[in-house]
A and B are shown apart, each in its own frame.
Chain A
Amino acid sequence: MTTPTNDDHDIRALLDDAVADVEPRRGLDEITLRTGRSRRSWVWGTAGAVVATAAVIAAVSLVGSLSGTNSGGGQDDAGPRA
């Protein structure tokens, strides 16, 4: 076996050689599986916000249209009857 010297080149070769046959087995799939959770939650969060916004708009429209329908009743409806 080669005895290391002070030479930087020898140390580099030694370390390179020590791990040259190391080939990762798992990898990107494993990482995306773990990071995908945050992406999915972001998607669901956005979808939830869109649905909530649509529901609020629908509710406001409904209330608006109902009050518009009732507006023909005049100001008599504004307060309790005596």
Chain B
Amino acid sequence: MTTGARTGRWDADEAVEQLYASHYRRLVRLSVLLVGDPESAEEVVQDSFVAMHGRWRSLREPDKGLAYLRQTVVNRSRSVLRHRGVRARHVPSPSPDLPGADEDMLANERRTVVLDALRALPGRQREVLALRYYLDLSEADIAETLGISRGAVKSHASRGVAALRAQMEDIS
């Protein structure tokens, strides 16, 4: 481990390496839940790391770096969906780039159903569900990440769960 990491003060390059090692895969998976496909998700997360590297002077602490990454991943995932436009909301996109072997077909189908159901939700509900149930963030952290009140987080979460359940029943 580097001197900077031992003392708790990283430079921008160390921050990227350390946060990459501990959070990259999880952030990519978070973005997959938001945008639906691994290719776009990985681009989103890489862009977010590059942005964090550029902002490291003002962040400086690992916790702030991670919070910045989460926020940037959510915002950029939202931008990806916006660029896809109406088509992304209403036309089922191809299933995520997962193994296509026969024995995996059933599992893939189940995953596709979940991702399709998520995609059908309003954006805020999808974001709140992903942050709460995938990243296990607290209401306060979700509120900070999304720039909304804790009350709004609660509301989006309960509506999101109900909507997801309904979507899953419709799809299956």
Contacts and interface: CB of A to CB of B under 8 A. Distances in A.
Interface of A: 1, 3-6, 8, 11-12, 14-28, 30-32, 34-35, 38-39
A14 B45 CA distance: 22
25 contacts: A1-B172, A3-B165, A3-B168, A11-B164, A14-B114, A15-B134, A17-B110, A19-B33, A19-B134, A21-B111, A23-B25, A24-B24, A24-B45, A25-B42, A27-B42, A27-B46, A28-B24, A31-B16, A31-B53, A34-B50, A35-B12, A35-B49, A35-B50, A35-B54, A38-B53
Interface in B20-43: 20, 24-25, 28-29, 32-33, 38, 41-42
A32 to B, nearest CB: 7
Contacts of B41: 22
User: Main SS of chain A's interface residues?
Assistant: helix
Contact of A19 (B32, B54, B107): B32
B17 A28 contact: yes
Contacts of A21: 98-99, 104, 107, 111
B169 interface: yes
Top-4 shortest CB links A-B: A18-B114, A19-B29, A35-B53, A15-B134
Contacts, number: 100
Contacts of A27: 20, 24, 42, 46
Nearest to B167: A4
A35 B165 CA distance: 42
User: How many residues of B sit at the interface, in one of the four size bands?
Assistant: 35 or more
Contacts of B115: 18
User: Main SS of chain B's interface residues?
Assistant: helix
B133 A35 contact: no
Nearest to B108: A21
Interface in B144-172: 161, 164-165, 168-169, 172
B16 A35 contact: yes
A31 B133 contact: no
B103 interface: no
A3 B96 CA distance: 21
A22 B13 CA distance: 26
A32 B169 CA distance: 44
A11 B161 contact: yes
A21 B45 CA distance: 17
A22 B133 contact: no
